[in-house]
Structure formats: structure tokens, C-alpha cells
Amino acid sequence: MKHEKKIIMTIGLACLCVLLLSSVALAAKKVVHVWQTETNPKSKEAIANIVSRFEALHPDIKIEAEAIAWGDLEGKIMAALAAGSPPELSHGQPITCAALQEKGLLLPLDDVVKAIGEDNIWDQIKTAGKFGDHYYCLVHAAGTSLLVYRKDLAQKKGLKGPKTWDDLLNLAKELTMDTDGDGKTDIYGMTIPGINLFINILIGELTKANGGILFDEENRPHFTDKTMIQTLNFLKELTKYMPPGWEGHGYLETFANMAGGKAAMMYQGYGRGASLIEKYAPENMRSTEYFDVWIKPHGPSGTKPAAQVDEEPWMLFKGSKNPDEAKEFLKFFYQDENYLEYIQSVPIHFFPITKSLRQSKAYSETPMIKRWKGWLDVQEYYLNNDLVKPTLVVEWIDMTTKPYLMAILGSGIIKDMVMEVTKEGVAPEKAAAKAQKRAEELVKDKGYAKW
């Protein structure tokens, strides 16, 4: 009996030693916390696979990747910074990156850019991420807003793509239809998301397309400018051809209007919508023969189209525990064989930031890219011709001189102005004057007023 007890005790001690050694080994690993906003299963799986391959090559590093809905991310970042415990890496909006960089809260990503090859990165991506002589933002992938339309309906009526806002209003009117003759509209000419973020996106790109600005060099708002009044009048007319309740629709509901046949055009479409069409549209309509994209039009005071670019960048936080290891992970992430898997998780929305991947055979032969190539061609046209800017950025200088844009976005000032005009019947001039006053007070409160 004593002999058996000794054996049991020996085994027990051995197991304890193994556990202790494992704990010590685990504790010795350098942990890199990664927050990213792609919560869809395919993107999460791609990141998990990239993490697994990276950890196999770097047994001393553990990557803890967490998918966080973008609506929750900003608050979580601010809370982590306030607590003095930021993650190593996180996605964020370009204007978030600009605001945090201005406060000295970020570390440069120059080593990562050098590893990728500066000449291998699209110029637009570099412009969005460089502050002075250093890169503080590095876009995970780019995707531009798109004017999606029902190609089959347009062809039946002999309609062509719009050049001006008046053209778009005429199209919206033509494509608002009662198809069964019961006196009720079955298909609306236009649909847009009505939530705060998308209204801010919309006003930013319409302002650019109409030759206007949102803030001048002294940071004074230009909401009462003629170009803004024209924009508000345009939206007042356009919303006449939108489905009831549009002002409460999020992105998915808006695309459901398109895929479900309730709307003939969507102004704030994105490449990821192609996946929704393939999932929800009638099976015989899941192609560019039915859902295609037009180049966006310009306003009466503008000369060129404008769109918004959805390009959430990686940010590396000062004060995080393992920034060097985080940079090594990013270098690995952007290697073509790894990056391709991530890009293919949302292939029509994730425009790769590297030329090498965009030009590779493996990328071009992705089945979904073949099916929706026209959507990518329009995005590439926007990117190559500098026709896209991040949310509320009208000129690139806004990124480095207007760190208060994030506060404007969160304030609801712009959405309130649009809703007063389109839903409450307030005169554009009156709504703009109210928004002007509120925006001036906010800029003054943040300490950026120079007028």
C-alpha cells in the first residue's frame, strides 16, 4: 500500500511540475492584443488562421485577436486609453487615427511600411496614413461607397448613368414605380441608410462633389455656404423617392431594400453588398446583369464625382506592452499569401492596399472577383483618380489640421440638420444656420477656433 501511495504521489508531483512549467512558459509569452472591426465569420476565420501560422513561427508571441463591432470600438479605445492599458493594435476610422496622433498617443508604423515596400502600397493609402514624415495609420483594406442600381430596370426604360444631381433626381423619379397598377409604389427610386454615421458620410462626399468645404482654414464651419444649401435642397428632393422609414434604416436594411426589389438605386452601397445580393436576391438575379454600379454624379457647383472610402487603418498605441511584436505581426499579415486569405473573406469590398496582391493571378482568379469585377473597376477608378476621401474629409489636409472631426461625427449635428430638412420640412437655410451655430460652439469648446 505504501508503495502504491509513493507512485501516486510521484505521478501527482510530476503532473504538478508539468502544469507549473506550462504556466511559466505561457506567462513568458509576449501577448499582443489586436482589436479589429470585421465581425463577419469569414474574416474572423481568416484572421484566426493567420494568427495560428504566425504563432507557429513565433512561439514566444501570443496574438489575442478580438472582433469588435465598429459602433463599440471607439468607446472601448477611449476607455482603454483612459485606464492606461491600450491594446497593441486596433482598427479605427482615419479621423480617429488623426485625432489620436495629434494627441501623441500613437507609435509610427514605418517599419511595417518598409517591410511591405513603400512603392508597393497604393498612393491613396499612403496619403491617408502619413502624418509629416511618419506613417501612423495603415489601412487594413479599402472599399469605396458605390451607386448601386438595378441594371435590368434601367435598361428597360433606356436610362443611362447620371452626370449631375439633376440627372440622378430624374432617374430616381423614373425608377419609382407602381408595377402592379394598384396605385401604390412597389419600387422606390432610391434608398440610403439614415443612421448618423452614413448621413455624415453622405454629407462629406456630397460636399466634395459640389465643390464645397465643411470647415475653412480657421476651422469655422461652412454649413451656411451656398454649396451646403444646394446639397440640402438636393436631399430634400431625393428623399421623395425613398421608402418610408428610410431615416431609421441601417446599412443592412438599406441593402435589403435593394436585394428584395423595394428600391432601384442605393447611393451608399459598398462592395460587401455583393455578398448580400448573392445571399438574399432571387437566385436568377444574383449578378451584374441585375445589380450593377454607376459612377456617382456631381452637384451644380462641382465638376467631379466624389465618394467615401471605407478604410479603417491599423493603429499602434503608445503605452502598449509589446509594440515591436505587434509590428512583426502586421508585417506577417500583409505578406501576399496571408493577406490574400483575409482579402478573400470580403473580396468585393476589401480592395488590397498592396499592388503585388492586386496584380496577382491568385487574386484576380478569385471566383467572386470574376463575377463582380465591374464593382471593383469603379472602386479602382475612384482610388486612382483621388475621388475618394475618408468620412468628413473633403481635402487631405483636413486629416492633419482638423482633429475635431471625430467630435463633429459623434455630435449628431450634421444628421440633425439633414433630418430637419428632409423629414420636418424646415427650410435648408434655417436648418443650416442652426447647425452652423452648434458646430461653431463645438469647435470653440475643443479649443480649435481660430476666427
* Cβ proximity of 370 and 362 under 8 Å: no
User: Cell match 439633414: residue?
Assistant: 418
Delineate the domains of the chain, giving CATH numbers in brackets.
29-142+311-371 (3.40.190.10), 145-309+388-445 (3.40.190.10)
- Supply the pLDDT for residue 27: 52
> Which contiguous run of DSSP H or E holds residue 275?
helix 273-280
Asked if 200 and 409 touch (Cβ cutoff 8 Å), the reply is yes
196 touches 131 (CB < 8 A): no
State the average pLDDT over residues 281-308. 97
Q: What is the mean pLDDT of the chain?
A: 92
CA distance 374 to 369: 9
pLDDT at 402: 93
Largest CA distance in the chain: 97
Specify the pLDDT at position 28: 62
Q: How far is CA 370 from the centre of its chain?
A: 23
Q: How far apart are CA 89 and CA 328, in angstroms?
A: 11
* C-alpha span between 122 and 231 (Å, rounded): 31
C-alpha cell at 392: 468628413
- Using one digit for the tens of pLDDT, what is the confidence trace for 143-158? 999 999 999 999 999 9
pTM: 0.88
The Cβ-side half-sphere exposure at 108, using a 13 Å CA radius, reads 10
Secondary structure (3-state) at 340: helix
280 is written with which cell numbers?
438574399
What are the tens digits of pLDDT across the range 214-252?
999 999 999 999 999 999 999 999 999 999 999 999 988
Helix (H) / strand (E) element for 311: namely none
Better-scored residue on pLDDT, 178 or 9: 178
Q: CA 144 to CA 388: how far, in whole Å?
A: 7
Q: Which of 13-22, 317-326, 333-342 has the lowest mean pLDDT?
A: 13-22
